[in-house]
Amino acid sequence: MNEIKGDFYNQEEPVSEISSKAVFVSLFALVVVFFFISFSVFYFFEKDKANKIAQRDKAYYESLLQNDKAYYESLLQNKPEALQKSLVEDIKKGVNDAETKSAAYFITHRFFDNGGNIYEIYDYVENHPELSFLKEAEGIYPEEFLKLKDKKLPQTYTEVSFYIYLAYVEVLHKHGYVDIAGLATAANQYAGNTYFKVIRSKKIPEGERGVYLKNMERDIKKALEFLSASNDDVVKILEGKLTSSDIPARDILVGLNQYASTLRYLEAMGINHTSAKTSREIFTFAMDYSSRFVIELNIFTSLVNSSTLAILDSSTSEEIKMALGPILNFDTKKPSSYKGSVIKKIINSKFEQKLEGSNYVRMDIYSKWNVLLIANKVPEFKSWLMSNGWTEPDFK
């Protein structure tokens, strides 16, 4: 009995389970509250930051609309009417200044903005007697215009409508209504279209290639003619002798992009053209210029630069990655005005479908073919795509 008592009194006093649980629960609650408060502060901070970014973007684009309403309504809101009216009014009054040429460029560029609907430009010309001189374009590609007049063309891009667009630009140039943007774009379209034909022709039976490439010599000749007409302005711009006080900044940027892009398509085909400035010099200038003066085209400039670098054997993965900078650094997770933009087109290219019963493959800068070409050369770009919804099967 005494041993039992001794054992009883010699036991260590047990720690209360209730007290231990209470301490644990209290600590856990404190941790939860701490993380909740921290998360709330972070969430509201990030939300406020995102809202400020959204407000900044909205204010920026509203300022664009206010400063050059006709141009930005056409480019950003798919409303070309004011721009179209301004060109007609200028021609009526005999005005042909930098803004007139810029309007002429962006009105014809609607062909690309509206998905290749050449009827918009055709109807515009037909409905305004002041533009009757543009009917001279019918003599450049008569067979193509005949199909247009007979309503045999779809309201989407075709090679026939593509040549009709270029005919209009050629006539505008003849009558003095084209600036560096129009000249270089025509050069780039002729050169780029020929390059893509050469690539596609490799999958065509050898006996049929001659027919497919029948206009190659003519198109390269036209590309070189438009390129040569742009040479002097490119040099003056890079040397600071031609500025936005002479030509709208957007036209300067587009002209540089398209000129340099043309040089790269020609290089990829092994065609030499003497240029006082290299494509790399021009794009280096253009990337900086867009980031400072034409912010709304900075991403576009990045895509054109990287896309045309990707087709050259002389370019490196690191060089293409550098050109992709504005795209790779674009935060798609925060509110921004990029709906329907270049970024969205790049991401959504994964949904591109091949035409039934056709071997035709899109190869423009927004095509899946182009996105895959860049992704195969720049791992960081592939990772960026995957962080924005792409999966491994999309790369096949």
pLDDT reported for residue 52? 52
Residue 232 lies in a domain: no
Residue 76 lies in a domain: no
Give the closest residue to 185 by CA, choosing from 129, 123, 250, 230.
Answer: 230
Band of pLDDT at residue 361, cut at 50, 70 and 90: confident
Residue 321 lies in a domain: yes
Which pair of tokens denotes residue 118? 């050449």
Give the closest residue to 238 by CA, choosing from 258, 250, 252.
Answer: 252
Taking the CA of residue 369 as centre, how many other CA atoms within 13 Å lie in the half-sphere pointing to its CB?
A: 13
Phi-psi domain of 389 (left: phi exceeds 0; alpha: psi -120 through 50; beta: other): left
Q: What is the pLDDT of residues 131-158, one digit of tens each?
A: 999 999 999 999 999 999 999 999 999 9
Q: Tokens 């991401």, residue?
A: 347
Q: How many domains does the chain have?
A: 1
Q: What is the pLDDT of residues 249-289, one digit of tens each?
A: 999 999 999 999 999 999 999 998 889 999 999 999 999 99
Q: Which amino acid is at 203?
A: K
Q: What is the pLDDT of residues 21-74, one digit of tens each?
A: 555 556 665 655 556 665 555 555 555 554 554 554 555 555 555 557 887 787
Residue 36 lies in a domain: no
Residue 86 lies in a domain: no
246, 290 Cβ separation under 8 angstroms = no
Q: What is the pTM of this model?
A: 0.83
Q: What is the pLDDT of residues 211-254, one digit of tens each?
A: 889 999 999 999 999 999 999 999 999 999 999 999 999 999 99
Q: What is the pLDDT of residues 88-97, one digit of tens each?
A: 999 999 999 9
Residue 37 lies in a domain: no
How far is Cα 331 from Cα 163, in angstroms, rounded to an integer? Answer: 38
Which pair of tokens denotes residue 270? 């092994």
Range of the domain at 370: 302-352+359-395
Angle at 92 between CA 87 and CA 98, to 5 degrees: 45
Give just the sign of the alpha carbon dihedral 85, 110, 182, 221.
negative
Residue 8 lies in a domain: no
299, 343 Cβ separation under 8 angstroms = yes
Residue 75 vs residues 106, 168, 259: alpha-carbon distances, Å: 8, 20, 21
pLDDT reported for residue 71? 75
Residue 107 lies in a domain: no
How far is Cα 367 from Cα 364, in angstroms, rounded to an integer? Answer: 5
Mean of all residue pLDDT scores within the chain: 87
